[in-house]
């Protein structure tokens, strides 16, 4: 009996070590506030943030439900309006990487709020949770906007997944969601890419990492699952995806679209890779986005 207990304890220690390695590699922010180490394998390390929009800006702060000090940049258009866009950045990035999207909204007369998600940019936090906790933060950001605001959530990649999970919580005054290359589940996305990008097997790494993530953050990687909640969204949703996406499989957009019961549209960009739908054809991208939003107003 004692030998069996020793074996069980040993296996638990190994499982924790395996999960902890992945969580540190993929989700933990560096001590120098750099993105997780896995970001170098997933995102283009040479991509630079676009310049800040040439519009009046101010810094906003918010205390999260679990005591983190979160930061956002608020931009104002030339004329006052009650139209607001919350732009949500992707994995391993910060709010500055959404500035080119912000510039387009501002030119079209929208207020823009660009949060640094937890564990990114100027926001506090040690671990990324792939939208599980970030969606609660974005919900709270929406609550800081004026009571007459008409709010659009627009997210890319992890930001798209966060936007969908936020919308499922029914934030006040939300009128539409634009999700660009979001995944059905962070667990499934990582599992699909483990061998391709990291040269690692799904088992036992992902099951172990799922529970170690909960130990560190209170949520599992598998809790970041827009597919599980997309049917709860009541406002119109625009689904965007490049058909050459090698990180988040194109089929994930199809699954999300089919599961969504709200008014919906899809926009497929031929030849676009992950998060490249806008850069592939900016004019067509924003024409579609704003035609969709205008139809909801």
Q: Is residue 155 part of a domain?
A: yes
We report the CATH number of the domain holding residue 67 as 3.40.50.1820
Query: Is residue 26 situated within a structural domain?
Result: no
Domain that holds residue 125: 57-191+226-296
In the prediction, which pLDDT does 173 show?
Answer: 97
Sequence-ordered list of residues with C-beta below 8 angstroms from that of 139, at least 6 positions apart, any chain: 166, 169, 171
The answer to whether residue 80 is domain-embedded is: yes
- For the packed helices 2-27 and 205-217, what is the interaxial angle rounded to 10 degrees? 80
Which has the minimum average pLDDT: 8-12, 200-204, 262-266?
A: 8-12
* pLDDT tier, 12 (very low <50, low <70, confident <90, very high otherwise): low
Residue at 36 is within a domain: no
Overall domain count for the chain: 1
User: What value does the mean pLDDT take over residues 130-151?
Assistant: 98
**Residue 82 maps to a domain:** yes
> pTM of this prediction?
0.95
264 domain residue, yes or no: yes
Residues 186, 144: contact at Cβ < 8 Å? Answer: no
Give me the pLDDT at residue 135, please.
98
pLDDT per position as a tens digit, 216-257: 999 999 999 999 999 999 999 999 999 999 999 999 999 999
CA distances 261 to 46, 120, 160, 164, 256, Å, are: 39, 32, 17, 13, 10
The pLDDT assigned to 145 comes to 98
Greater confidence (22 vs 13) lies with: 22
Contacts of 231 (CB under 8 A, 6+ apart): 259, 260, 261
Mean of all residue pLDDT scores within the chain: 93
In a domain, 130, yes or no: yes
247 domain residue, yes or no:
yes
């Amino acid at each position: 009996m004692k030998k069996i207990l020793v074996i069980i304890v040993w296996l638990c220690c190994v499982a924790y070590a395996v999960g902890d390695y992945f969580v540190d590699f993929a989700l933990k922010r560096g001590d120098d506030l750099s993105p997780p180490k896995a970001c170098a394998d997933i995102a283009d390390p040479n991509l630079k943030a676009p310049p800040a929009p040439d519009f009046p800006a101010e810094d906003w702060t918010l205390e999260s439900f679990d005591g983190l000090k979160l930061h956002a940049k608020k931009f104002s258009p030339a004329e006052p309006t009650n139209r607001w866009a919350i732009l949500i950045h992707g994995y391993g990035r910060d709010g500055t990487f959404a500035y080119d999207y912000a510039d387009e909204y501002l030119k079209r007369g929208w207020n823009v709020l660009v949060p640094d998600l937890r564990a990114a940019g100027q926001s506090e936090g040690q671990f990324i949770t792939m939208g599980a906790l970030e969606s609660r933060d974005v919900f709270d950001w929406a609550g800081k906007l004026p009571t007459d605001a008409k709010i659009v959530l627009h997210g890319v990649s992890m930001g798209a997944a966060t936007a969908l999970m936020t919308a499922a919580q029914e934030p006040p005054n939300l009128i539409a969601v634009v999700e660009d290359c979001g995944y059905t589940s962070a667990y499934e996305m990582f599992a699909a890419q483990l061998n391709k990008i990291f040269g690692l097997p799904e088992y036992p790494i992902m099951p172990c990492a799922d529970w170690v993530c909960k130990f560190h953050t209170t949520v599992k990687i598998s809790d970041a699952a827009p597919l599980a909640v997309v049917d709860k969204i009541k406002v119109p949703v625009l689904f965007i995806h490049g058909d050459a996406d090698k990180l988040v499989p194109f089929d994930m957009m199809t699954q999300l679209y089919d599961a969504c019961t709200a008014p919906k549209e899809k926009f497929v960009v031929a030849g676009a890779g992950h998060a490249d739908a806008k850069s592939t054809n900016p004019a067509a991208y924003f024409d579609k986005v704003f035609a969709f939003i205008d139809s909801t107003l």
